[in-house]
Amino acid sequence: MKRLHPLPCLLALGLTACASQPTASPHASATLTPIAVPQIQRPQQETAAWWFTAGAAAAHANVGATPPRAKNVIVFLGDGMSIPTIAAAHILLGQRQGKDGESARLSFETLPYTALSRTYETDSQTPDSAGTMTAIMSGVKTKAGFIGVGQGADRADCASSKGDELLSGLELAELAGLSTGAVTTTKITHATPAATYGHLPERNWEGDVDVANSPKGGDCLDFARQLVEQPFGNGLEVALGGGRENFMLPTQRDPEEPGRPGKRLDQHDLIAQWSARPGASYVWNKEQFDKVDIGATTHLLGLFERSHMRFDHDRLNPPEEKGRVAADEPSLAEMTRTALKILKKNPKGYFLMVEGGRIDHGHHAGNAYRALTDTIAFSDAIQAAMDDTDAADTLIVVTSDHSHTMYFSGYPQRGNPILGLVHGGSDFEDSGEALALDQLGLPYTTLGYANGPGYTGPSDSQPQGPKTYPHYYKKLQGPSTARPDLRKVDTQAPDYMQESVVPFMSESHGGEDVAIFARGPGAQAFHGELEQNVIFHIIVQSAPLLRKQLCASGSCNADGVPVNLPDRAALLPKAK
């Protein structure tokens, strides 16, 4: 691909001309046939079928008439990884290394192709992880709270979702004979990993008790059971994350927290079900994980926490907790390496999803330190995959599901600690080395949140002033009377919570675009600003076995492009 160089454009004073030149795919040709997309009123006439066709058309225009040939696919999902998160994380990485943080790069920032992803859902300007990951995994945008189900259903209504289930990328890969895996630092039944294999109109139905307690839960199977009883192919080969409680019976006690029983009331011991298959292994701590016999293991389930796995900072610095048996857990990079070793045994290829899921949780907690250090750990996992794969046959896509309200502001001087107080002036004209002060004469940090639990007013759990992670409260005791004086506060401490403007118990997502980075066959199609569901279509149009499987299901047009929404229900009898 001929790349434009901004410096010559600047020198020629041709910014407008340079910016407007088309970024054509090297696979594009004069014989490329545009895909007709029905004109509709949005959102009134949107349907799952329309979203699928529209996504296919946009992807086809970028991929071109001669499809790439990706044998393997890895989707890395940084949950809540906004563009300010990426910028702040690479600065923190560089500064930790004693280098220039501003010019440092996370591993995925070196990938050759980039794009922007529009994240809104069919019913929400600011999205959640369920609908966004469904778009990435199925090629169809849907409502907030829906996982693997089209927008025609009603939230938390099992009966309404029947027939609206969407075929996921991992299910498609299983049908095509590829190996599949999902790796996360959250519960393996949480929204993002669940969207790789699950189908429910309620993201919170992670265990059978959640479905049973819902008025319209009906006969829907919870995500934990859907994972273990996956009907396509021979199911996921690798599933690594947290969330043991949704797989265990009440008669079983958690190995790390003996006071906590399992939650399943349906008598399905899902860990035993998984382990009963030939070649299947189950592990719950790092020692067991490190001893997995890769050669003898065909299916690996790792559940390393009762709930979510630890933030990377807490994994490396585990706090003492009463009633807990200390056990190490693997890093996201270590889980990624092991997953690849197992998946690579399939000569046909594999489809792997890896989520840095707790980036999102750090932001929700109003704690930039944990959000950024988990972003760095996510980058380490991507580097591990880059080192262990060949760009000639493996498509790697790195993106996020949505953003957050963390802002990056003020005029800090070059080299200012990213988690520190701003030195450099409150106005660009006053930039220098002095401590910057606001209009009240008080210092402030570069990073902050538009809303969240870092609000400095008093609550029923912490007094007026800076907040310390974690800040759980039931109610505020009053508004903040003044900004705190941070001169004697260590804002770089792991438990410091950045100030928030609006008091929320949990900081919210943001609605702006997020970034996409890619390398490998098909990566060149990631350019411009794309609807989030187009990511799926670029992937399947770039992977011959996935594309062939969709064509076999009747999804393809005369040019062999998958344009019609596949009927998942019709494929179920063929899955075994």
Alpha-carbon distance 136 to 129, whole Å?
10
Strands 394-399 and 514-519, bridge-based pairing: antiparallel
Q: How many Cβ atoms from other residues are within 10 Å of residue 231's Cβ?
A: 14
Alpha-carbon distance 459 to 390, whole Å?
53
Name beta bridge partners: 253.
Answer: 261
Query: Cα 126 to chain center, whole Å?
Result: 15
Q: Do 255 and 284 touch, CB atoms closer than 8 A?
A: yes
Q: Which region holds residue 450: left if phi is over 0, alpha if psi is between -120 and 50, else beta?
A: alpha
Per the annotation, the verdict on 129 as an active-site residue is: yes
- Integer Rg of the chain from CA: 24
Token reading at 328: 């190490």
The vertex-46 CA angle with 40 and 51, nearest 5°, equals 100
Alpha-carbon distance 91 to 72, whole Å?
32
**Residues in Cβ contact with 175 at an 8 Å cutoff, skipping those fewer than 6 apart:** 232, 233, 549, 571, 574, 575
Alpha-carbon distance 479 to 70, whole Å?
56
**Residues in Cβ contact with 454 at an 8 Å cutoff, skipping those fewer than 6 apart:** 366, 448, 467, 471, 497, 498, 499, 500, 507
Alpha-carbon distance 353 to 107, whole Å?
17
- Helices 534-542 and 544-552 pack at an angle, to 10 degrees, of 100
Catalytic one of 107, 117, 129, 379: 129
Strands 500-503 and 447-452, bridge-based pairing: parallel
If you search the block for the tokens 């760095």, which residue do you land on? Answer: 376
**Residues in Cβ contact with 366 at an 8 Å cutoff, skipping those fewer than 6 apart:** 449, 452, 453, 454, 467, 469, 471, 497, 498, 500, 507
**Residues in Cβ contact with 173 at an 8 Å cutoff, skipping those fewer than 6 apart:** 73, 179, 180, 233, 350, 351, 545, 546
**Which helix (H) or strand (E) is 298 found in, with range?**
none
Torsion of CA 76, 124, 446, 492, to 10 degrees: -60
Alpha-carbon distance 545 to 472, whole Å?
48
Picking from 538, 408, 504, the residue whose alpha carbon sits closest to that of residue 126 is: 504
Token reading at 392: 């000639």
Dmax over CA atoms of the chain, in Å, equals 74
Does residue 239 sit in helix, strand or coil? strand
Q: How many H helices and E strands in the chain?
A: 19, 17
Q: Which residues are known catalytic residues?
A: 129
